[in-house]
Amino acid sequence: MRHVLALDQGTTSSRAIAFDAQGRVAAVAQREFAQHFPHPGWVEHDAAEIWATQRTVAQECVQKLASALAGQARAAIKIEAIGITNQRETTVLWDRATGEPVGPAIVWQDRRTTAHCDDLRRAGKAPLIQRKTGLVLDSYFSATKLEWLLDQIPGNRARAEAGELAFGTVDSWLIYKLTQGRVHATDASNAARTMLMNIHTLAWDEELLSLFNIPRAVLPRIVPSSGVLGETAPGVLGEAPIPIAGVAGDQQAATFGQACFAPGMAKNTYGTGCFMLMNTGDVAVASRNRLLTTVGWQGPEQAGERRTAYCLEGSVFMAGATVQWLRDGLQMIQSASEIEALAASVDDTRDVFLVPAFAGLGAPDWDGRARGTLVGLTRGTTRAHIARAALEAIALQSADLFGAMVGDAGIQLTELRVDGGASRNDLLMQLQADLLGVPVVRPQVTETTALGAAYLAGLATGVWSGGAQIAAQWAVGRRFEPMLPEPERLARIGRWREAVERARGWARDGVES
């Protein structure tokens, strides 16, 4: 039996999942790693720990697969290819010679460069950036993070200009380590999130490099999302080399794994953050509602050409991370799995709203200065009401994205495909359907981020023949129909928007952390 190994490097954990030719999970391994918050609004990872955990789980996954197939022929445990999917925008800078980081990995949630983005906005640079990259000028993306690493850590800029340092998002970092420095590359979907690539030419943009003062010498080569770009070095994951044949940012990979191949199809992933993407085909649709226009993926070569799919995207910074805050910050629950039962123990929130703007607000507000806000508390409020408000906050933020997406695309979406860890929470999915007013559809295989990376790699190596075969393997696990009357849905969203304005007004009123 043929297998593809997906390396799924997320914000809070590294995972490896082996899939068989039917797209079924055959083996999985996962390890969490440390989160670092050195200052308010700063979020960092240790890139060396990311690599160590990712390599360890990859080895564990292969061992589990071998054990599961111990009674079969040796050829049955061959890994045909590796696909990589990763937390996006997180920025790593390392020494080319030693392969060691020369600073912290600055995470996508990090807000340290918000003031610099404000300066660029006042200088009138936002329209230029959006026109070329499809992105809103924000510290969320990699460009200002990389600029900070070059300027704030002594010696980095001079070494970068001399060609001694390499920059990459996490996919590039993993590729570099897997190949022991032989390949320094990123795919078009990840490059699209750096604020340095022109999404229309699919190349690094000289004007943007100049604007952010980024030396070209640090940049990786941009490659297609599906295609063999290199192979593992001997000893990294066993002695036999394995082709690295698929790469995509986590949200683009999830869209591919959900088989959203036709324009107008949309998915929402519930992870640390929450990300909604809609396929717009080969057209990069410019948003009027502060969504992002991004590269979805660059597919495998067919008849000498590669098809590039574009997407509209909306980002919620705090989804599963909100539940983590209830667990770790407030110590309201012992484990994330407890929240569904606790929230379901009450019928509503008693008009309590939690706006989890702990890292600012993403689309459609894009307010880096907004702060987390809990409103509507009374003496009758219990931790169950707050737990339910936390789940509603995830669904309400996603409803904001859904409305903006429909407005931009001019298409009335008839369903939303969902995935990610929190999509297994039935109460959250029902709340989501109620607040969207359309069905929410959860597939049988919810590991669609890793599955998308596996599909991209398998397409390049002949494990799967094409999109039609992949679409045929996608199957409904459960469908959640909306049950909330339309007047109540609109009223709830209206009250939510009032709470959001409270969160945004905190900084406007002159009170900042």
**Residue 11 labelled as part of a binding site:** yes
DSSP letters along 275-338, please?
EEEEE-TT--PPPSSS-EEEEEEE---BTTB-PEEEEEEEEES-SHHHHHIIIIIS---SSGGG
Q: Tell me: is residue 268 an annotated ligand-binding position.
A: no
DSSP single-letter state for residue 239: S
Rounded to a whole number of angstroms, the distance between the first and last alpha carbons of the chain is 55
272 is in an annotated binding site: yes
Residue 270 labelled as part of a binding site: no
Q: Which of 489, 291, 502, 486 is nearest to 407 (CA)?
A: 291
382 is in an annotated binding site: no
On whether 187 is known to bind a ligand per the annotation, the reply is: no
Nearest to 499 by CA among 356, 322, 317, 346: 356
Residue 15 annotated as binding site: yes
- The secondary element (H helix, E strand) that includes residue 186 is strand 185-187
Q: Is 86 among the annotated ligand-binding positions? A: no
Tell me whether residue 179 is annotated as binding.
no
Whether 12 has a binding-site annotation, put simply, is yes
Q: How far apart are CA 142 and CA 140, in angstroms?
A: 7
Percent helix, strand and coil across the chain, each to the nearest 5: 40, 25, 40
Encoded tokens for 74: 């040796």
At a CB cut-off of 8 Å and minimum separation 6, what does 285 contact? 293, 310, 312, 408, 409
DSSP 224: -
Closest of 323, 212, 314 to residue 268, by C-alpha: 314
- 315 belongs to an annotated ligand binding site: no
Query: Which residue reads 């997906």 in tokens?
Result: 6
Tell me if 250 is assigned to a ligand binding site.
yes
Which residues are annotated binding-site positions? 11-13, 15, 88-89, 140, 250-251, 272, 320, 324, 421, 425
Which residues are annotated binding-site positions for ATP? 11-13, 272, 320, 324, 421
Which residues are annotated binding-site positions for sn-glycerol 3-phosphate? 11, 88-89, 140, 250
Which residues are annotated binding-site positions for glycerol? 88-89, 140, 250-251
